[in-house]
Structure 1
């Protein structure tokens, strides 16, 4: 009858077999998560090949960052049900973390886009650009400009919060062209560039764009400049007017440095 001799591995050998760092085994031993098969008379730890699957099971769950305490509890009596519960709990946590990372990525990408746009703004000049169709969400309630600045800010912040977007999203106030300078109807919608189920389509076409720098008290002058420029080029407004706030307080401390982007679809004036 042949005698079966079980091969043993030193810590270094077992780590090489598993393709991990030797310190990982020492750490798992220290926290009582994965112990060596035994200790030789010379005081050195040893492992056996039969421990390979056990270690890989533990290590695979550690790779998805399951807490040590939960792993130790689970491996005291592992079952299909408890494994499923661990996976479902971790999956929900990761979904929340992923959403947070996506929000951060959106914020940073938007800051890069806006800062690039704001680098070489030709203030005092009307630009004409062909723009693609975009998804736009309007606020259900109109914004009453007779409210205090605190109330206006709160309404705007609440609108963005309900949409689940950050303040760097392309947002602002939208005016019907017929009501642009009508003070008696000083109620206008908020808007945000975001693609949701209730979004409307901002049509593609030729848009006139002008940038206003400074307080809103003088923005009418910029609108007048826009309208005069359209008239000289035999153009007229062909849709809503979008007043978009570019970073503002995040990019400047003083209101004099705030930049507001005004854009409107235009068409050739039809003459009789």
Structure 2
């Protein structure tokens, strides 16, 4: 029976219909995932209209990040039941991707808010903030006041958060005991913390709602002691009792500025009626 080649597409025609390069079709032929239905005596390759559906299936599965080897295996053994199983598996993977993208969207939204705050908040000026109840993952720090020990502890804190499946857009914060600021010109951390959006974790620590005196600085960590003293003086001058810790948050970090010396920090002191 003679094949009427007028009913078939050349490689170039088929490639244009599929919006791919001819090299893609050559590769698919080489690995056996989609071969031309007819090869002429002159070596020319021809594809049928029914193969458009197969190509569409391959493209769809590729969009779902399915490897070509797995796509070939499916096509070689396809059946309605196998198709249902494939769709069920792909649905789970798509749901996971949607979940990841939703998290990434929240991450970007929060980072945008923090960056805008870092750009707009007055530097060196004490402001009062009424804050709602907030939730923190907290780890204790008993190490020395040296960069290596602090960096190691912060990494361990971050790993602890990851072990809880917590990936927060907030930078790691430090808790500075007010007691250590009374007689020293330096400061130490007692805890590190990561802010989270809800109290759905048993490990979450509640930071009560209340009024905070806050002050920002855009020269990294060099002025932290002075700002802490400034906050404590404000509390004393206005008849407030200070909380037990000052909270140190990073608004602009390595993601937006170069080097520690250019970080924008926000220091917050809880205030209670004296």
Q: What is the TM-score with the length of structure 1 in the denominator?
A: 0.69
Matched, 1:221 2:226: yes
Question: Is contact 1:11-1:25 (8 Å) kept?
Answer: no
Equivalents in 2 of 1:144, 1:22: separation in Å?
62
Matched, 1:230 2:249: no
Gaps of 5+ in 1: 1-6
Question: Is contact 2:168-2:194 (8 Å) kept?
Answer: no
Equivalents in 2 of 1:59, 1:260: separation in Å?
48
Q: 2:28 aligns with which of 27, 31, 40?
A: 31
Deviations 1:104-130 (A, max 9, x none): 666654543333122233223110122
Q: 1:207 aligns with which of 212, 220, 227?
A: 212
Deviations 1:4-57 (A, max 9, x none): xxx945469x97xxx9535478844652233444368996835255x5654554
Question: Is contact 1:160-1:167 (8 Å) kept?
Answer: no
**Which is worse superposed, 111-120 or 76-85?**
76-85
Secondary structure of 1:220 counterpart: helix
Secondary structure of 1:75 counterpart: helix
Equivalents in 1 of 2:272, 2:53: separation in Å?
71
Equivalents in 1 of 2:157, 2:249: separation in Å?
15
**Counterpart position of 1:61:** 61
Equivalents in 1 of 2:144, 2:108: separation in Å?
34
* Aligned residues: CA RMSD: 4.4
Aligned length: 255
The 5-angstrom pairing of residues 150-161 of structure 1 reads 150-161=148-159
Deviations 1:32-85 (A, max 9, x none): 233444368996835255x56545544432332322233223322335469847
The 5-angstrom pairing of residues 97-108 of structure 1 reads 99=100, 108=108
Matched, 1:143 2:141: yes
Secondary structure of 1:31 counterpart: helix
How far is 1:175 from its partner? 4.0
Secondary structure of 2:170 counterpart: coil
Secondary structure of 2:129 counterpart: strand
How far is 1:263 from its partner? 1.0
How far is 1:218 from its partner? 4.4
How far is 1:219 from its partner? 2.6
Matched, 1:47 2:48: yes
Secondary structure of 1:144 counterpart: coil
Matched, 1:128 2:125: no
How far is 1:243 from its partner? 1.5
Q: Which has the larger radius of gyration?
A: 1
Question: Is contact 2:168-2:195 (8 Å) kept?
Answer: no
Deviations 1:223-252 (A, max 9, x none): 221122233333333564312233445524
Q: What is the TM-score with the length of structure 2 in the denominator?
A: 0.68
How far is 1:191 from its partner? 1.2
Equivalents in 2 of 1:227, 1:72: separation in Å?
69
How far is 1:153 from its partner? 0.8
Equivalents in 1 of 2:45, 2:144: separation in Å?
80
How far is 1:154 from its partner? 0.8
**Counterpart position of 1:3:** none
How far is 1:209 from its partner? 0.7
**Counterpart position of 2:72:** 72
